[in-house]
Every structure is written in C-alpha cells, then in structure tokens.
Amino acid sequence: MENVIIIAIVAVILAAGIRSTVRHFKGQGGCCGDGGYRPRKKKLSKVLYRKTFQVEGMHCEHCKNRVEEAINDIRGVAGRINLKKGELTVSYAEDVSDELIKEKIERAGFLV
C-alpha cells in the first residue's frame, strides 16, 4: 500500500513539473513572466535594407516580445525574432546605427 502512495505522489509531482515546463516555453509563466502580453507590430512604409543579429538568452515568447518591443521603439526600424534560430531581423526605413540596436537589446537583458 505504501508503494502505491509513493508512486501516486511521484506521478503528481512529475505531471506538475511537465506542465510547468510546457507553460514556461510557451511564455505563460516561469522566470520570464506572463506570456499574455503581445507587443504592437510595427510596419514600415518603405524598407531600405535588412540586417540579422544573433541574440542569446531568449527562452520563450515573453523573451521574444521584450526584444521586439525594444527594437520597435526605435524610430525608423522594425524587428522580428525567430525564436528557434535566436535571430533578430531588423528592417530599416532610415539609417540607424548597429550600436543603438545592440544597446536596446542589451538593455532588455539579452546578448548580441
């Protein structure tokens, strides 16, 4: 009888851990915060060129949203994250220095 109780307790703990992990990587909680927030999408009227940056430290949708919001706050640029590749693609409508892009990403808590 004790074995059945121990197995049931372990199964409940394991199920809770799996559920928490899945929610974390969907951006619905965990260390990164609530994933219910969606940044506003930014469209540029014209795109002069695009650049891709490698961004380290992103784990979930919330991380992705934080980086996109930081980049989209810059006038004349719009950013999109590919979370699986860890890449930020920045579209430029006007000249903006790479240093400003890197500074915004690092202020959001990530490495370029």
What is the rounded average pLDDT for all residues in the chain? 85
**pLDDT (tens digit per residue) in 45-98:** 888 999 999 999 888 888 888 899 999 999 999 999 999 999 999 999 999 999
**Token pair of 58 as six digits:** 């992103």
Task: Please report the sign of the dihedral spanned by the C-alpha atoms of residue 22, residue 26, residue 27, residue 29.
Answer: negative
C-alpha torsion 29→31→32→36, nearest 10: 10
Residue 31 has pLDDT above 60, yes or no: no
Which positions ≥6 away from 10 have C-beta within 8 Å?
none
| pTM for the whole structure | 0.67
Q: At what angle do helices 61-72 and 98-107 cross, to 10 degrees?
A: 140
Residue 5 has pLDDT above 70, yes or no: yes
